[in-house]
Amino acid sequence: MNPKWTVWLGGALLAAVIAAAIYLPALRRQVNKAKDLTEKTAEQARRELLPVAPVSTGDPMVKVNMFWGSRGQEGELVPVTVELPLSRDPVLRAKQVLNTLLAGPVDAESRTLPPDAALLAFYILPDGTGIADFSDEIRTSIPSGIQSEQLAVESITRTLEANVPQVLRLKILIHGQEADTLAGHVDLTQLFRVNARDAAGTQLDNPSPPGSLLPAPIRKAVDTMRKATKRK
Amino acid sequence: MALRFGILLVVRFCSTPWQLLASGMLGAALCGVTIAWAVPAQRGGAKTVQATANSAPSPSSGPSGSQQASGNLAAQAPRTGLNVVVLDPAHGGTDPGARGTEGITESDEVLQFAFATKKALEAQGFQVILTREGNDDPSFDDRSARANAQRGAVFITMHIASTGLTGTARVYVEPDAPAPSNIPGLIPWDRAQTPFLSLSRKLGDLVQQELSKRFKGSPDTLQTAPVRQLRTTAAPAIAVEISSVSVKERAELDRMVPGVADAIARGLVDFRPTYVVPNNPFSGGGAQP
């Protein structure tokens, strides 16, 4: 090959390498941006598929207390008053306040629950036991630790106590299943006391089947939910 | 196996039908006796787990609601004081726990705290058992079983949070719960901590006081939280949570190690004279006034 052509070829290759070195980081940024966009879209799609608690426009706007984290005091909850068209039906009411709690406060630092978690279902049993079924994100996206998990559960129970007096105690499920812990620390096998009127507390007299801390009616409801989730 | 082999030998050397019949009956009788002896033993094992001083219950079989951790562990045995400290560095294996800056993981960092605490406790004359010493992840029940198998033990599970004021430490105990009304003298595995709550609070108060002296911003009093690891532990049990893995640099956490170890050791030294193993945990005894 002519030495002149060799020089030209070498020069062209060098130029290509320099161009690639400049362009590749920009390409990488674009790919990452596109990936984030896809993830957000998937999350949005999932949220759109979830049954949203119907809000009746006929219901009057009511001031409700939501319990979010305190900015000043570490590990404390503070009531924040917001206005909602709150339903009279206790189940819808519970769904409304829990969805508002999940949507989070204006100040992201006061959040107690992960922003991508969703309430999948909520039931109230005749004995006043509420069953809240959350998506997996409540376990996977929550900051790990006793304090943060305790704060998450307390924000749910205190918000329900303030706004849905029919719920006396609460069972938390994750994706229709009974979970051992929230994220490795706080025990979810038990019932959480919501209302002071629940004199029996979390220790109900109903017999539990072996291997379960749950009283029989609640166990039955959990099993029903589990079957429904499997069918989906 | 040996019996069966023996029977086969007898059959081979039988010369008459009567001898054959007799040897068959003898074999059947031996089988019957063996089965009768084995079946009740199996049934008993499934229903209860005796967490006695020298024999650990078998959590690997999955302690169910029907399984029991012994409550009045050998009521006739003499009362003894605090002998053993079971230290539980949380998480491990595929579960890293909280993840923070500089690749800090709770499971790795908490081991350093546990090793230092072990050393500090041994210097005070305590026998120390670690629920894990490497990167493995025993189940909640396996960890509890290490304490439930001891007499005169306390259990301390150690955590590092991903939140909280950096450089602080908190002690947690289980919230109050009514005593389970099951078989007298036996504690359901799922509620093994209940009879020890007053002792746990006493221990937690002492350790928290020591931690708040050393780490500014830590609470003066202990906290209550339904920590899963504590529920199945039939001994005074506390959780110590350090903040946090979200430190700017690892050295900030490393600087806390000697202080945490010393605070726990001091707390246990103060707790030791007041701790008497309750003969009947449901009587609420144990801690001397």
Q: Which of A147, A191, A203 to mutate to test the interface with B (most CBs of B within 10 A)?
A: A147
Is residue B136 helix, strand or coil? coil
Alpha carbons B166 and B252: distance in angstroms, whole number: 9
**Burial of A3 from C-beta contacts in 10 A (0-12 / 13-18 / 19+):** exposed
Alpha carbons A151 and A159: distance in angstroms, whole number: 12
pLDDT over 90 (residue A161): yes
B82 Cα to chain A: minimum distance (Å) = 27
> Given this model, what pLDDT does residue B127 score?
96
Per-residue pLDDT of chain B (289 residues; tens, 9 = 90+): 444 444 444 445 445 666 666 666 766 666 555 555 544 334 333 333 343 333 334 343 444 433 444 444 333 344 457 889 999 999 999 999 999 888 899 999 999 999 999 999 999 999 999 999 999 999 999 999 999 999 889 999 999 999 889 999 999 999 988 766 656 677 888 889 999 999 999 999 999 999 999 999 999 999 999 999 999 999 999 999 999 998 888 899 999 999 999 999 999 999 999 887 666 555 444 433 3
Q: Which of B62, B65, B225 sits opposite A146 (nearest CB)?
A: B225
Q: Report DSSP state, residue B169.
A: E
| A186/B225 Cβ within 8 A | yes
| A147/B65 Cβ within 8 A | no
| A143/B98 Cβ within 8 A | yes
Alpha carbons B10 and B24: distance in angstroms, whole number: 9
> Given this model, what pLDDT does residue B187 score?
80
Q: Does B122 touch chain A (CB under 8 A)?
A: no
| A186/B164 Cβ within 8 A | no
A49 token code pair? 């598929």
Q: CA distances (Å), A92 to each of A107, B28, B71, in order?
A: 26, 67, 45
Q: CA distances (Å), A190 to each of A178, B226, B227, in order?
A: 10, 9, 11
Q: Which of B65, B162, B165 sits opposite A144 (nearest CB)?
A: B162
ipTM value, please give it. 0.72
Contact by Cβ (8 Å): A67, A151: no
How many residues can be counted in chain A?
232
The set of residues, in sequence order, having a beta carbon less than 8 Å from that of A30 and lying 6+ positions away, is none
pLDDT over 70 (residue A139): yes
A220 Cα to chain B: minimum distance (Å) = 17
Which chain B residue's Cα is nearest to A179?
B228
Contact by Cβ (8 Å): B90, A146: no
Q: Which of A145, A181, A213 sits opposite B164 (nearest CB)?
A: A145
> Given this model, what pLDDT does residue A226 score?
61
| B66/A210 Cβ within 8 A | yes
Q: Which of B95, B172, B231 sits opposite A184 (nearest CB)?
A: B95
> Given this model, what pLDDT does residue A108 score?
81
Of B170, B166, B159, nearest to B106 by C-alpha is B159
Query: What's the count of helices (H) and strands (E) in chain B, helices before strands?
Result: 7, 8
Contact list in A for residue B90 (CB cut-off 8 A) is 184
Alpha carbons B97 and B99: distance in angstroms, whole number: 6
Which one is predicted more confidently, B262 or A109?
B262
| A143/B162 Cβ within 8 A | yes
Is residue B70 helix, strand or coil? strand
Which one is predicted more confidently, A161 or B37?
A161
Q: Report DSSP state, residue A181.
A: B
Is residue A55 helix, strand or coil? coil
Is residue B124 helix, strand or coil? coil
> Given this model, what pLDDT does residue B181 score?
63
Q: How many inter-chain contacts (A to B, CB under 8 Å) are there?
A: 88
How many residues can be counted in chain B?
289
Q: Which of B64, B165, B244 sits opposite A211 (nearest CB)?
A: B64
Contact list in A for residue B106 (CB cut-off 8 A) is 144
Contact list in A for residue B177 (CB cut-off 8 A) is 201-203
A 67-106 near B (Cβ less than 8 A): 74-75
Residue B58 has phi, psi (to 5 degrees) of -105, 85
Q: Which of A185, A201, A212 sits opposite B227 (nearest CB)?
A: A185
> Given this model, what pLDDT does residue A14 score?
92
Mean pLDDT of A215-228: 62
Q: How confident is residue A30, by pLDDT bands cut at 50, 70 and 90?
A: confident
| B170/A147 Cβ within 8 A | yes
| B99/A144 Cβ within 8 A | yes
A221 token code pair? 């409801």
Which one is predicted more confidently, A208 or B203?
B203
| B177/A145 Cβ within 8 A | no
Contact list in B for residue A74 (CB cut-off 8 A) is 164-165
Contact by Cβ (8 Å): B162, B100: yes
Q: How confident is residue A34, by pLDDT bands cut at 50, 70 and 90?
A: confident
> Given this model, what pLDDT does residue B192 score?
92
| B178/A210 Cβ within 8 A | no
| B62/A144 Cβ within 8 A | no
The set of residues, in sequence order, having a beta carbon less than 8 Å from that of B60 and lying 6+ positions away, is B139, B141, B142
Q: Does A216 touch chain B (CB under 8 A)?
A: no
pTM of the model: 0.71
pLDDT over 90 (residue A134): yes
Q: Does B178 touch chain A (CB under 8 A)?
A: yes
> Given this model, what pLDDT does residue A199 score?
57
Q: CA-based angle B69:B51:B178, to the nearest 5?
A: 30
Which chain A residue's Cα is nearest to B217?
A74
